[in-house]
Chain A
Amino acid sequence: MTANIRDYEWDLDDIYRQFYQAVRKAGVYLPDDVRSALFSSSELSRHTERNSDLQKEEHPQESVMQNNQGNQGNQGNQCNQCNQGNQDLVLSMIRKNIAEAEKSGLPLCQDTGMLILFIDIGKDVPTLPPNLEDLLEQAAADAYRDGFFRKSIVSEPVYERSNTGTNLPLVFHYRFVPGNSLQISGMLKGFGCENCSSLDMLNPTAGEDGVCTAVKEAVNRAGGKPCPPIVVGVGIGGSAEIAMLLSKRALLRDLEARNSNARYAALEIRLLQEINKLNIGPGGLGGPLTALGVSVEQTATHIAGLPVGVSISCWADRKFSLEVYPHEQ
Chain B
Amino acid sequence: MNNNANPGDFPKQKQEFEKLEELEELEELKGRHISLPADKETISSLQAGDAVLLSGSILVGRDQVHKRLAAALRNGEELPVDITNQLMYYMGPAPAPPNMIIGSCGPTTASRMDPFAEILLKHGLLGMIGKGPRSRSVAEAAAEYRGIYFYAFGGCGALYASCVRAITMAAYEDLGPEALYRLEVKNFPVVTAIDPSGKDIYASSEKTMK
Contact = CB atoms under 8 A, between A and B. Distances in A.
Interface residues of A, number: 74
A287 B207 CA distance: 11
A35 B153 CA distance: 17
Does more than half of chain B's interface fall in helix, strand or loop, or is it mixed? loop
Interface in B139-153: 151, 153
Interface in A247-294: 278-281, 283-287
A281 B104 CA distance: 24
How many B residues are at the interface, by size bracket?
35 or more
B206 interface: yes
Contacts of A213: 209
Interface stretch (A52-60, A215-223, A231-239): A215-223
Contacts of A283: 131, 151, 153-154, 191
B93 A76 contact: no
Interface string B96-127: 11001001111011010000000000000000
B202 A284 contact: yes
* Of listed B5, B91, B131, residue having the most chain A CB within 10 A: B5
B204 A148 contact: no
Interface string B2-31: 101101011101011110110100101100
A89 B51 contact: yes
A90 B152 CA distance: 10
Does more than half of chain A's interface fall in helix, strand or loop, or is it mixed? helix
Given A16-B7, A110-B106, A97 B155 contact: yes
Interface string A294-324: 0000000000000000000011100000000
19 contacts: A12-B2, A21-B7, A21-B11, A75-B207, A85-B28, A89-B29, A94-B156, A96-B23, A97-B157, A102-B16, A104-B158, A106-B157, A107-B94, A109-B157, A148-B94, A192-B109, A217-B209, A220-B208, A223-B132
Given A93-B156, A150-B104, A224-B131, 13 more contacts: A16-B5, A17-B7, A94-B156, A102-B13, A104-B161, A108-B156, A109-B157, A111-B157, A148-B97, A148-B103, A213-B209, A284-B202, A284-B205
Interface of A: 12-13, 16-17, 20-21, 24-25, 29, 35, 72, 75-76, 79, 82-83, 85-86, 88-90, 92-112, 131, 134-135, 138-139, 142, 148-150, 190, 192, 195, 213, 216-217, 220, 223-225, 227, 278-281, 283-287, 314-316
